[in-house]
Structure 1
């Protein structure tokens, strides 16, 4: 699987750039948190700086999706990565020279959150343009696995650098990682769908039409609006507190590490096998998200939490791959970034609410009832998603072309000529360009824009 994918030049450089960027992203929270503590000593100030980045990220996601569908996606990745490197370098300079302040760190965090929102849809939508259609599932598996490893490595490196050389220099290394990522993205040579000039608001409406026109898309986004909020409150807020009072911080760390091990195993399985109705299978696996909440509520302990989070990692990785492949196979390439943007906004918008209400709810009603209610909501949201016939009948793999919600699409072949045609529902074209990794130009074959 890995060797076959690495034969595709564009996928190699995209994976390298994303991995370096994610390592930097994982380093940043440690460095920024300790930079704020060194500056003011206030945990509340850390929360404000982190929240500023999150709010900016959600606020700009839709605009990021429009940009990723209007401009060459490789260029969007280059620009957003270089911009992030510049702003992180400014933050490092401010911390190292002693003129940093909380308002300045907030402003720079807002800028970086906005650039991350531009980066995300373009990065997600670019994957199917770097590999043939029959390698899409394997490509998404490798992408998610490398992202997991990059986040683990980045967190470890960030913690070590903060301890050894201080937060300012750690942020400087983070800035350098973004520059390296931008250089990787300059090596991409992917053809982009050619789009007619249009207004940004019209693009947002078109993306909304693509998003709402597929019932299975918005149903699952609504499902994860609830699940992400519940998990954010239950596992990110209440989980550490329960662990601290019962089985200890070391046990909690082992449990979180076990989730990553489970995710690797789930990704390896998904790369080799996935049912034809992968989306329904993936949604069914999401029932497992309730298990860690129940364990924390009823019998918190190291062994139980290790088993529960291993199961969660194993199942959620398969669900995530099924989701990505379903979107990439069935949404037209020139609108995919906007659909990813609406997905991200809907899925993440309630996370701050979940983190904000978890502790007050536990104080008011008790920790155990709060967690059990969260597990119940997770089960109900997942069962509700499975009642949708649209969710149950989506298929992946094989001759499963992209759906189109409107008439004419234009695509660029080898950077010069264009092919124009009307797409019927469930129909798309794939242009095989002259590349060492793709073979000679042989015309136009049916499939996905790969």
Structure 2
């Protein structure tokens, strides 16, 4: 048994507290950025939806292109320095975007360049973040650390939904981007204060980037549970992107009352993600990947209810369930990766995980609109729900997914008294 009191004692650890605070502030900055950037760009003279699409694509394409390189960098260099560089790049990118919007000097190539720098920053940050947690906390506290990191991130996302909109309305998109850039800068300073001792690689261990990528690929492909779930998520994320990005808002606009209804669905998901953290702190399954994969099946619930024209309150409840399940899966997944993957390869493997899981997402966004026109948004949402369920059930056919076991929990006699 574990206790919340015992879990919260981790906050007394200076290094973990610094990392948690830095990540929470960084996610808050990230939550500000989409709203501020979208309304800031659309408010420019002559700007259209195409202008915004070009700027957003300029951020997403470098993120995908550099993700594997980010994994190599994070395995080669001290991860806190890599994270510091990523946060600093994000601060510079969004500060430049803010200056452009506030001064009115907004040539599209300059906007695209700044957005591309942010995409590179994300590609550097993500693999380093996955790898740094085992550098900061002991192995028996990994799940608690991941859950607390998730709690900070989820609270920031909810706060960002509220504060970013208010800042844009009151001050404008440019000043909201100033706030976002400042948050990234603060996160960079906090990460720099970690001062972790790097594990130096000997000259014999140093290879070319391609050799490091091949080594990371061998680690990735040698674990059936790993590549099977990543393959599952490549399909699942495609369906979720289509449903969440296009089809859900369409149904909300046509049948549920518009933006307010869709905001309620998103808020329900956010609340569920916060609740999922507390479940993740308590749950210690012996087969974490089996339990995590089972948790992806109910994530189809809000799409099923939207497709059936169910009342809004039931869809919001479905979104809460989705949030709980996705958060629980995320904690179990990250903890298992950190336990099973050698530390020297962890960031490269996490970059393959991210790339594989996200690579079909843009396809979902591209086909959602034509599919809604061809068969209607409700049938398309039912199709998305079916894809999520079938992909999850297919992953459960894998022996690696079903049989991977967590190590036996360490005895904690001081905790049992609570």
Name the TM-score, length of structure 1 as normaliser.
Answer: 0.86
Matches of 1:197 and 1:276, distance apart in 2: 37
Matches of 1:178 and 1:269, distance apart in 2: 29
Which residue number corresponds to residue 30 of structure 2?
25
Q: Higher mean Cα deviation, 296-305 or 138-147? A: 296-305
Note the residue ranges of structure 1 that are not aligned, 5 or more in a row: 401-450
Matches of 2:386 and 2:300, distance apart in 1: 7
Which residue number corresponds to residue 142 of structure 2?
136
> Which of 267, 283, 290 in structure 2 is aligned with 1:273?
283
Matches of 2:27 and 2:228, distance apart in 1: 29
Which residue number corresponds to residue 313 of structure 1?
323
Q: 1:69 touches 1:335 (CA, 8 Å); kept in 2?
A: yes
Matches of 1:327 and 1:136, distance apart in 2: 10
Q: CA deviation at 1:160?
A: 1.5
Which residue number corresponds to residue 414 of structure 2?
none
Which residue number corresponds to residue 261 of structure 2?
251
TM alignment of 1:19-98, pairs within 5 A: 19-39=24-44, 40-98=46-104
3-state SS of 2:200 partner: coil
Q: 2:87 touches 2:125 (CA, 8 Å); kept in 1?
A: yes
Q: 1:252 touches 1:302 (CA, 8 Å); kept in 2?
A: no
Matches of 1:60 and 1:217, distance apart in 2: 21
Q: 1:66 touches 1:337 (CA, 8 Å); kept in 2?
A: yes
1:39-73 deviation line (CA, Å, top 9, x unaligned): 13412211221122111111110000000000000
Say whether residues 1:175 and 2:181 are aligned partners.
Answer: yes
TM alignment of 1:137-152, pairs within 5 A: 137-152=143-158
TM alignment of 1:402-421, pairs within 5 A: none
Q: CA deviation at 1:368?
A: 2.8
Which residue number corresponds to residue 416 of structure 2?
none
Matches of 1:106 and 1:118, distance apart in 2: 19
Q: Higher mean Cα deviation, 63-72 or 250-259? A: 250-259
Note the residue ranges of structure 2 that are not aligned, 5 or more in a row: 411-418
| Residues paired across the two proteins, number | 400
Q: 1:326 touches 1:396 (CA, 8 Å); kept in 2?
A: yes
> Which of 235, 238, 247 in structure 1 is aligned with 2:247?
238
1:357-409 deviation line (CA, Å, top 9, x unaligned): 01101211222332222222211111110000001111224379xxxxxxxxx
1:214-237 deviation line (CA, Å, top 9, x unaligned): 111110001001111101101221
3-state SS of 2:43 partner: helix
Which residue number corresponds to residue 207 of structure 2?
198
Q: CA deviation at 1:135?
A: 1.1
Name the TM-score, length of structure 2 as normaliser.
Answer: 0.92
Q: CA deviation at 1:277?
A: 0.5
Matches of 1:148 and 1:235, distance apart in 2: 18
TM alignment of 1:115-126, pairs within 5 A: 115-126=121-132
Q: CA deviation at 1:157?
A: 2.0
Q: CA deviation at 1:153?
A: 1.6
Which residue number corresponds to residue 413 of structure 1?
none
Which residue number corresponds to residue 444 of structure 1?
none
Say whether residues 1:380 and 2:390 are aligned partners.
Answer: yes
Which residue number corresponds to residue 210 of structure 1?
219
Matches of 1:34 and 1:254, distance apart in 2: 21
Q: 1:6 touches 1:12 (CA, 8 Å); kept in 2?
A: yes
1:3–1:289 CA distance, 2 compared to 1 (3 A): closer
TM alignment of 1:222-237, pairs within 5 A: 222-237=231-246
Q: 2:309 touches 2:378 (CA, 8 Å); kept in 1?
A: no
Q: 1:325 touches 1:396 (CA, 8 Å); kept in 2?
A: no
Question: Which structure has the highest helix share of the two?
Answer: 2
Matches of 1:278 and 1:315, distance apart in 2: 13
Q: 2:247 touches 2:380 (CA, 8 Å); kept in 1?
A: no
Matches of 2:164 and 2:383, distance apart in 1: 36
1:47–1:300 CA distance, 2 compared to 1 (3 A): farther
3-state SS of 2:285 partner: coil
Q: Higher mean Cα deviation, 218-227 or 371-380? A: 371-380
Matches of 2:287 and 2:401, distance apart in 1: 9
Which residue number corresponds to residue 193 of structure 2?
187
Matches of 1:295 and 1:385, distance apart in 2: 24
3-state SS of 2:199 partner: coil
Say whether residues 1:347 and 2:357 are aligned partners.
Answer: yes
CA-based RMSD:
1.5
Say whether residues 1:331 and 2:331 are aligned partners.
Answer: no
